[in-house]
């Protein structure tokens, strides 16, 4: 029997984060140990509220949530997500105020506590800016080797030019805090990078949304309602596009099934200084004595296989 994949999901809960949360909750092979929240698509308070609401809609209010960083390591946070994710971060879908509350512990401290309690057992899946993870690794460098791995959604080896991206060369997660991304990549942890050049190949279409909403439970219906806002935001910039991408859910899937993507070991760094290139991933694929790979980087995905897996997972737990 395959070993259960135990994950901590670090989120800036916008629409694709909500999909990732429900995917993780519904997958039989995944145990969602905790959510930690950060800024990004929305401010950290809203991300925390949204996370609690999605868990309650999914019937899992017992999963602990810890609120974390409200800004990047070196720069204040400027809210960027309303055009893509709606003013409330989940497509302006109104949900009841959550009954549960976040834990009274800062998210990086909670990450440290959980990892030290289960060495070698937990995979950290950050799908927003890497600030919480960087804080945890700076405060407790020992957790890098105590993690089963870090599967991060962020970066891009080449830029696909998609809606809502704040830079010609960087995705939002690395752009929002490149210093944090660099700390994570240089931490010595076992890292898998799932970038936007790969996640953009995974498609959620309107017919797929209809199918999930029809066959799924209340939480699936809520998340698909939000996804329609997401699709409309994509189409506002690219009128010929017929889908929105499954960015964050793909990272969660890779934590359980790494084989769903093709991985290439490479040395990866992040530009932190240039005003035009801030957040750009710098991959070094040279095979010399000085280029020691620090990450397994997704370079391709079995898109149709993952899309089918996503749909069936989202309708579980009805």
The residues that are catalytic are 12, 247
Coil, strand, or helix at residue 184? helix
Say what the alpha-carbon torsion angle 132, 182, 145, 32 is, to the nearest 10 degrees: 40
- Burial class of 160 by CB neighbour count within 10 A (0 to 12, 13 to 18, 19+): middle
CB 111 within 8 A of CB 124: yes
Given phi > 0 = left and psi -120 to 50 = alpha, else beta, which region is 196? alpha
Listed residue (181, 176, 148, 175) closest to 268, CA to CA: 181
Find the helix or strand (DSSP H, E) in which 180 lies.
helix 178-185
Secondary structure in 3-state letters for 51-82? HHHHHHHCCCCCCCEEECCCCCCCCCCCCCCH
> What gap in Å lies between CA 44 and CA 13, rounded to an integer?
9
């Amino acid at each position: 029997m395959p070993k259960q994949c135990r994950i901590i999901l670090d989120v800036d809960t916008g629409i694709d984060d909500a999909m990732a949360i429900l995917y993780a909750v519904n997958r039989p092979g995944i145990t969602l140990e905790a959510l930690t929240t950060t800024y990004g698509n929305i401010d950290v308070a809203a991300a925390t509220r949204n996370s609690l609401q999605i868990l309650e809609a999914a019937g899992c209010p017992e999963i602990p949530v810890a609120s974390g960083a409200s800004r990047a390591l070196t720069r204040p946070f400027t809210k960027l997500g309303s055009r893509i994710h709606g003013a409330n971060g989940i497509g302006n879908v109104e949900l009841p105020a959550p009954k549960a509350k976040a834990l009274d512990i800062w998210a990086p401290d909670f990450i440290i506590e959980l990892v030290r309690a289960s060495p070698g057992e937990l995979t950290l899946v950050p799908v927003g800016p890497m600030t919480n993870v960087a804080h945890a690794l700076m405060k407790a460098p020992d957790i890098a080797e105590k993690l089963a791995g870090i599967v991060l959604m962020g970066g891009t080896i080449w830029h696909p030019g998609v809606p809502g991206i704040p830079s010609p060369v960087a995705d939002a997660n690395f752009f929002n805090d490149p210093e944090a991304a660099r700390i994570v990549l240089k931490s010595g942890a076992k890292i898998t990078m799932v970038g936007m050049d790969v996640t953009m190949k995974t498609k959620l279409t309107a017919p797929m949304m209809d199918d999930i909403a029809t066959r799924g439970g209340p939480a699936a219906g809520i998340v698909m309602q939000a996804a329609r806002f997401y699709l409309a935001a994509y189409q506002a910039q690219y009128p010929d596009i017929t889908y929105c991408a499954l960015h964050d859910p793909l990272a969660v899937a890779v934590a359980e099934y790494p084989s769903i993507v093709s991985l290439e070991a490479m040395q990866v760094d992040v530009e932190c200084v240039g005003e035009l290139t801030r957040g750009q991933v710098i991959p070094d694929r040279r095979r010399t004595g000085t280029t020691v790979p620090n990450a397994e980087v997704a370079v391709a995905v079995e898109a149709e296989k993952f899309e089918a897996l996503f749909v069936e997972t989202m309708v579980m737990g009805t």
